[in-house]
Amino acid sequence: MTPRVAAVHDLSCFGRCSLTIVMPVLSAMGVQCCPLPTALLSTHTGGFQGNTFLDLTDQMGPVAAHWKMEGVAFDAIYTGFMGSWEQMALTAQLIRDFSRPGCRIIVDPVMGDHGKPYRTYTPEMCRAMAELAALADVITPNATEAALLLGEEYKNLRLDREADCRRWCEALSLEGRRSVALTGVSLGEDALGAVCFDRDTGRTEFAAAPLVPGQFHGTGDLFAGVLSGALVRGRSLTEAARLAAEFTSRCARRTWEAGAPRREGVDFEPLLWQLGQRMEAGPCRT
C-alpha cells in the first residue's frame, strides 16, 4: 500500500511554499498527500503585497469528521503553518482522532524567523503551538522557533557551536519523549543543515549540505516535506534529515545559478525525480 500523509498547512496559489511544496514532494517520494488547508492565499506573504487571504478554520473540523466517517487512516500527520489558536486546537483533535500505532506525528512549529515571531503570532498562539508540538513524534523548528518553544532568549541560541547544538536539541526533546530536527545549524562556513536527536536511539547527529549564498522562500517547508516523506518511507531520522538538507541545497543552488526571482521560491520541480530515485534506491549508508 502507498503510504498516506495528512498535511495540515496553508495553500498559496502562487509562490512556492507550504502545500504547493509539500504535495508534489510527497508524491514524488511515493507518498499520498491528503491536504487539509488552513487558509487560501493568492500568494505567499514573502515579497508580495496585497495578497488575498481566506481563513478556512470553519472547514477543518468538517473535513476531518468526513475522513473519520469514511474510515480514512494515515501513516503520518504533518502540520505546518497555523493562523490561530483555534486551528491548533482543531489540529490537536485531528491528531487524537487519527493517531494509531505506526502513525508518525510530525510538527513543523511555524512561528517565526530571524529572532522574532511572525507578526500574526501572539503569545497565546505561541503557547498553543507548544502544546500542539507536545503531541509530536518529531518536530522541525528553526532557531527562532526553538527559542520560543523553550522560553529562551534567541540571542543565547548559538547554532555554530557543536556543544550548544546538542544541548538545545536535547532540551527540545522533552527528556527524550520526541525526536527533533533543529534546522539552520552551521558548523562551518560552507555548510548548513540540522542537528537531530533521535528518541529511538538516543543519539544526536548532524546532517549538513553545501551552503548556497542568500535566503530563499519556502526552504523550511521543502526540508520538512522531504524529511516527512523519507520518514514515512522507512528512513531513520538522520537519513531523512541528510536527504532533506541535500535536496534543499541543490534546489537553492539551481535557483541561485539561474538568477530566478527569490520571492517565487526555490525552483525545485525539475529536481523532483531525484527524490523518487533516492526512495527506490533504498536506505543510504550513514
In single-letter form, the type of residue at position 31 comes to V
**33-42, 149-158, 194-203: range with lowest mean pLDDT:** 149-158
Q: How many of the other CB atoms lie within 10 Å of CB of 250?
A: 17
Nearest to 149 by CA among 115, 126, 125: 126
DSSP state of 142: -
| CA atoms of 126 and 8, how far apart (whole Å) | 17
Model pLDDT, residue 285: 44
Q: Are 262 and 215 in contact (CB under 8 A)?
A: yes
Angle at 112 between CA 94 and CA 248, to 5 degrees: 85
* Whether residue 286 has pLDDT greater than 80: no
Number of alpha helices (DSSP H) and beta strands (DSSP E) in the chain: 9, 11
Question: What is the reported pTM?
Answer: 0.95
* Contact of 83 with 39, CB cutoff 8 Å: yes
- First vs last C-alpha separation in the chain: 27
Amino acid of residue 7 = A
Provide the pLDDT for residue 198.
Answer: 97
Predicted confidence (pLDDT) per residue in 147-180, tens digit: 999 998 888 777 778 888 899 999 999 999 999 9
Looking at this protein, which amino acid is placed at residue 186? Answer: S
pLDDT value, residue 283: 61
CA atoms of 236 and 220, how far apart (whole Å):
19
Q: In angstroms, rounded to a whole number, what is the distance separating the alpha carbons of residues 243 and 226?
A: 7
Give mean pLDDT, residues 20-37: 98
